[in-house]
Amino acid sequence: MADDLGRRGTRHAVVIGGSLAGLLAARVLADHAEKVTVVERDRLPEGPEQRPGVPQGRHLHVLIAGGQTALDELLPGFMDELRELGAPKVGMPTDMVQWQSGQWFARLPASAHFYSGPRPQVEWLVRQRVLADPRVELVEGTETVGLVGDASRVRGVRLRGRGGNGGRETRVLDADLVVDASGRSTKAPDWLAAIGAEAPHEETLDTGLAYASRVYRATDAVPATDALGYYIVPGPRQPYGGVIVPLGDGRHIVTLSGLRGDEPPTDEGGFEEYAKRLPHPVLSEWLAGAEPDGPVHGFRNTANIRRRYDRPGRRPAGFLAIGDALCAFNPIYGQGMAVAALSAVALRRALAGTRRVPTTRRVQRQLLDASRQAWDISAGADKKMPGARGDAARSKPLDRLTDRYMARIQAHAAGGAAVGVPFRAALTLTAPLSGLFAPSVVRAALFTPVPETPEQPPLHLDA
C-alpha cells in the first residue's frame, strides 16, 4: 500500500489517547477514513470531571484566542457552547492586574481574550461533539503497548486491557493509520525501535519549574478590584510566579510557581506562606481574605520536549504523532489546548490539500509547523531562566540581539497599544511572531519613548 494518507482512502485509523489532541485528530480523520477508533487507557467520566490521565488537569488552564478560532473551525459553534457552560471570558490587558520585569501593565482596552474555565469542561464538550459522530468509536480502559508492522509501515497497534478489562493478554487492532496522541509521556520511541524503526531525536529544555494550585472562593475580605484576575510573571531576575483567574461559580484558581530546589509546597500553610515571596504582596493579600475550596495540588513535569519526526530517519509510513506526543511545552505559558486544536486544523488542511500527495512525512512536517510558534515562545523564554538544562537551552549567536529587542517590545507592550496589540496577538497564536518585526512595531519599540505604566497595582480602571 502506498504511503498516501489522503488520495486512495484510509479504511481504519487508530488514535492512541482520548486527550484533547486525540479527540480533535479523530474528528478530522473521520472525514477521510471509514472508521476511526480512539484507544484510551482511562475510563472517561460522563460529565466535565477530572480524570487520572490528565495529571495537570487540576491546575490552571486557559484557552487562548488561537485555540478558540481553531476549535470553532473544527467544531462549528463550539465557543458558543463553552460560553453557555459559564466559562469566564478574560480580556487582556483590561481584566488583569499584571506585573512583569518590574512593571505593572496598564489596563488598556482588551485586544485579546482567553477563557479560564476548568480544563475538564473543555475536554468534555469536545468529547461530546466528537463521539456523537458514528464513524468514531471509543475503546476505554485499554492501553496501547506497542505497534504492529515494521520499519517500512505501521499496520496496527497492540492493546491490553486495564483494571480487569482483559487481564494481561494482548490483542492486535489492525489499522491503515496510527496517530499517537498519548501525551508527553508517550512510549512511541520505544515502540518504533521494537519494530526496527528509528526513534526521533528529542529536543529538551527544562527550567525545573514547578507549581502548585488551589481553588478558592473570593469573599468580601479580599482586596476590592474591578479586575478579574492577577498575574505575577516570573523571569530570569525574579523566578517566582503567581496567577489568580476565575473558574466560574464564584471560584478562582490560584497557581504559584518556582524553580528547581525552591518549589512551592503543597500544604495549606506552606502554600500561602510561599505567596509572600512574590515581588508584591497583592496576591498574598488576596489569599488572606479568600476561602479555600479544596486541597493544594503540585505539578513538576514542565520540561519543553520536541520530538523531531520531521528529520530524516528510518521511520514507517502510516504513523503520525500529534499534541504533546509531538511537542510538549512548559504549561505555564497556557498554549497546550490551543496547539492541540491548531494541530488538528493543520492535519485537516494537510489531508485535504490538492497540490501535493499527503504522505506521512509531509503531514508530520505540517503538524510540527503548527506547533513551531508556541515552541519558539516557550523555549525562547525558558532558555533565559537560571538553571535551564537541555540541548535546546544553548544560545545562538543572534540570541543576545533578539533578547535586547524583545525587552524593548515587552517594555512598550506594558503601557501602549502600538506594540501591545501585536505582542498579544503573537502570544495568543493569532498572528505570526514576524509581526513583531513589522516596520511600524520596530519604529515604536526602538524610536519612541517607553510609555508610562502604573506605579502600583492597577486594581481599578478609573484609578
Per-residue pLDDT of the chain (463 residues; tens, 9 = 90+): 346 565 445 699 999 999 999 999 999 999 999 999 999 999 988 888 877 766 666 788 999 999 999 999 999 999 999 999 999 999 999 999 999 999 999 999 999 999 999 999 999 999 999 999 999 999 999 999 999 999 999 999 999 998 755 567 899 999 999 999 999 999 999 999 999 999 999 999 999 999 999 999 999 999 999 999 999 999 999 999 999 999 998 999 999 999 999 999 999 899 999 999 999 999 999 999 999 999 999 998 899 999 999 998 999 999 999 999 999 999 889 999 999 999 999 999 999 976 767 899 999 999 999 999 999 999 999 999 999 999 988 888 888 899 999 999 999 999 999 999 999 999 999 999 999 999 999 999 999 999 999 999 999 998 6
If one counts the domains in the chain, the total is 3
pTM, full prediction: 0.94
- Pair type for strands 202-205 and 327-328: unpaired
Question: 347 and 402 in one domain?
Answer: no
Question: 255 and 198 in one domain?
Answer: no
Question: 47 and 22 in one domain?
Answer: yes
d(CA 272, CA 349): 47
3-state SS assignment for residue 65: helix
Question: 244 and 155 in one domain?
Answer: no
3-state SS assignment for residue 177: strand
CATH number reported for the structural domain that contains residue 261 in this entry: 3.30.70.2450
d(CA 324, CA 21): 8
Contact 60, 252 (CB under 8 A): no
What range does the domain containing 256 cover?
A: 209-299
Show the cell assigned to 363: 503531514
Contact 308, 127 (CB under 8 A): no
DSSP secondary structure letter of residue 5: S
d(CA 196, CA 382): 35
Assess if residue 99 is contained within a domain.
Answer: no
Question: 266 and 415 in one domain?
Answer: no
Question: 315 and 175 in one domain?
Answer: yes
> Can you give the C-alpha Rg of the chain in angstroms?
23
CA distances 463 to 232, 279, 354, 361, 460, Å, are 20, 21, 56, 55, 5
Question: 252 and 238 in one domain?
Answer: yes
Question: 320 and 306 in one domain?
Answer: yes
The angle formed by the CA atoms of residues 9, 10 and 15, to the nearest 5 degrees, is: 150
Supply the angle between the helices 20-29 and 65-74 in degrees, to the nearest 10: 40
Assess if residue 221 is contained within a domain.
Answer: yes
